Structure 1
C-alpha cells in the first residue's frame, strides 16, 4: 500500500497509508520522483486553507513535482520510465476567462494539490495526460520539480514588465523571491535591491546575483533614495503589501506574488494612493513551461541554488514544522518518496 503525507488541519501533518484511486482513461500513472514543499502548502499547514480552498478532510498536498512514467505515453512519444514534469493547473477551457487566455485564473480549475484535489506527497499519482510536460534527457528530478515555482517567477516578471536596466526591489528571499531575482537578471533588469529578515536567505540572494541585500525595506528606501520604479513582493507577511508600497517611488509599479499569513494584508491606504502606484496581483502562472525549461537548460537560472533540503516522506512532517517557524538554514525543501 502507498503512503502519503496528509494535512489534517492547522499544524497537523501526518504520514499514513494511502489508497491510490483508480485511474481515468485520460490519465497516466507516475512514480513520484520528487515533490516540492511550496509556500502555499505551508499556508494549508499553518492556516488550514487559503481563501475558499479550505481543508475539510485530511488532504494530500504537493503540486510541484516530477515523476517517472509507469507506461508508454504514445501521443508524446515518451517511453515507460521517462522523467516528466507536471503542470498542476487543469483549467476548464470553456469559461470566459479561459477563452481570454487566463487559464491560471479559471474558477473551475482542478488544481493538483489544492483541496479537494490530492497532490503528490506520496509515491504514486494519477495525472491528466494533457498536463504532462516532457523534459530534456539531461534533467533530473530536482529540475523537474523546480520548473513549477520557476514558472510562478516567470509569470510574475511577465506581469512586472521590467524595463532594460531598470532598478528593481524584491521583497522576500524565499524560493519564489530568489527565482524572481534570477529571472529579472535574465530579463535585463538593472540594479536589484532585495531584503529579507533571515540572514541565510540574504546570503543566498547575494550569491545568486542581487546587487544589495538588506534585512528590511528601510535599507531599500535608503539605497534607492526614496524608492524603486518597480517592486516585486514575494513574502508571506501581512505587511508585505505595505512594505512594497514603501519600497516604490511615486508613479511606480508593484507586483504582489506572496500569500500573506492569515490571508489578510495590512495597508494604510493614503501612502499607496498618494504615490499613484500601479498594482498587479500574480496568481500561479500562464503558459510558461517552455521558457522555464529553456532558462534551466541554458544555465540562466540556477534552480539548485534555491533547494536547501531533500528529505524522505517520513521526515516531511518535521520539515513542515521547521519551515512554519522559519528555522535557520531552510529555503526550499524537496521530498523524495523513494528515500
Structure 2
C-alpha cells in the first residue's frame, strides 16, 4: 500500500508501506480522510517537536476518520462503518493515568508522533480502544474534525470561561477558530480575535468573534487599556506567550495551546509577573469525544466549514505546502488516501 513520508525538513515523498495485520487485538481500517495538523507542520518545517525527532522516514497524521474493513460484531462494528480514531493510547498504569490525566501520560503511544506511524496511508491497524463510534449521518469531514475539536474542548475546560467576561483569542488557525466557537457557546462577553492573516480573521468573525485585528495592540484601545479577563493563545510563534501576557488584564488568565516554533517561548518577566497572571499549558485532551460528537451532531459547532481543501495522497506535499504558507485561503487541508 502507499503512504506519505516526511523524510526531512520540507521533504515529502509517497512510498510503499507494509500492509496492516489485523487480529483479536487489532482492527484493520481504511483511512477515509486525515487532516494536516499544526503539529504535522512542525515535523515538516523543523523535523521535530521538542524531544520527538524524525530520525528515519516517518508517516504523520493523527486527525483521521476510517472505515472498518471487516465486520467485528463483538465490538459492534459493521464492515464499511465510518469511525473516528483516537490516536492516543495512554499506558493506563502510571500515576497520571490513575489520576485521570490521560493526556499527560508519559508512556502514551501516539499515532503520528515519531516513532509511531500515523494515518497518512491507505490502511492502518488500530486497537479496539481507539475506536470512536459516530452517528451514521456524519461526514468524513465531521468525523475527522472530532480530534481537533476535542483539543479545543480540553483547552476551554482548562480556561473555565465565566459568563460575560472578555476573551482574546491569539491565533485563528483551526484550533483558535474552534475555541472562538466554544467560548461563544460558553456565554462569554466580548471575544476579540488577533491573527496576521486576513482570511483567518474573516473566519474568526463568522464563528463568533466580535472584533478582529492583525495587531494585538488594538485590544488595549478596545478595552480602554484594561486588557481582557481570559486569553486563549493558539499560535505557532515563540512570541505568542508574550502577546498573550500583553493583552491580559491585571490578575488575568492565560491558556497556552499553541506549539511554538523552535520549541521555546519568549517572555519578558517583569510585566507578566507584576500582573500576577495565572497561566495554564494545554496538552491534547482527556475523555472529551462524547461531548465533541454531541456538539457536531446537535449543530452547535460547524466543524466542516474549517475544512477548506482536499487532496489525494499523491498530492499530499501540496497540502503541506499551502497550509504552511497560509496560502489559497487554507485553514484545514484534508488528505484522502483512497480517493
The TM-score by the shorter chain falls in which range?
Answer: over 0.9
Give the Cα separation in 1 of the matches to 2:333 and 2:307.
6
1:127-172 deviations in whole A, cap 9, x for unaligned? 1111100000110111110000000000000000000121110001
CA contact (8 A) 1:175 1:332 kept: yes
Change beyond 3 A, Cα 1:110–1:101: same
* 149-158 or 183-192: bigger deviation: 183-192
1:214-258 deviations in whole A, cap 9, x for unaligned? 112111222122310100000111100000001100000000000
CA contact (8 A) 1:313 1:337 kept: yes
The equivalent residue for 2:213 is 214
* 319-328 or 132-141: bigger deviation: 319-328
Give the Cα separation in 1 of the matches to 2:323 and 2:33.
18
RMSD over aligned Cα atoms: 1.0
* Structure 1 runs not aligned, ≥5 long: none
1:165-195 deviations in whole A, cap 9, x for unaligned? 2111000110000011111111222211001
The equivalent residue for 1:293 is 293
Give the Cα separation in 2 of the matches to 1:143 and 1:131.
17
Give the Cα separation in 2 of the matches to 1:285 and 1:46.
24
Deviation at residue 325 of structure 1 after TM alignment: 2.3
The equivalent residue for 1:73 is 72
1:276-332 deviations in whole A, cap 9, x for unaligned? 000000000110000000000111101022111011111110221222222241111
Give the Cα separation in 1 of the matches to 2:138 and 2:20.
29
Deviation at residue 21 of structure 1 after TM alignment: 4.2
Change beyond 3 A, Cα 1:231–1:195: same
The equivalent residue for 2:281 is 281
The equivalent residue for 1:333 is 333
Give the Cα separation in 2 of the matches to 1:121 and 1:270.
44
Deviation at residue 24 of structure 1 after TM alignment: 4.8
Deviation at residue 334 of structure 1 after TM alignment: 0.6
Give the Cα separation in 2 of the matches to 1:32 and 1:155.
25
CA contact (8 A) 2:10 2:45 kept: yes
The equivalent residue for 1:100 is 99
Give the Cα separation in 1 of the matches to 2:154 and 2:189.
19
Give the Cα separation in 1 of the matches to 2:304 and 2:223.
30
CA contact (8 A) 2:196 2:214 kept: yes
What is the number of residues matched between the two proteins? 338
Counterpart secondary structure, 1:217: coil
Give the Cα separation in 1 of the matches to 2:198 and 2:303.
20
CA contact (8 A) 1:221 1:246 kept: no
CA contact (8 A) 1:73 1:79 kept: yes
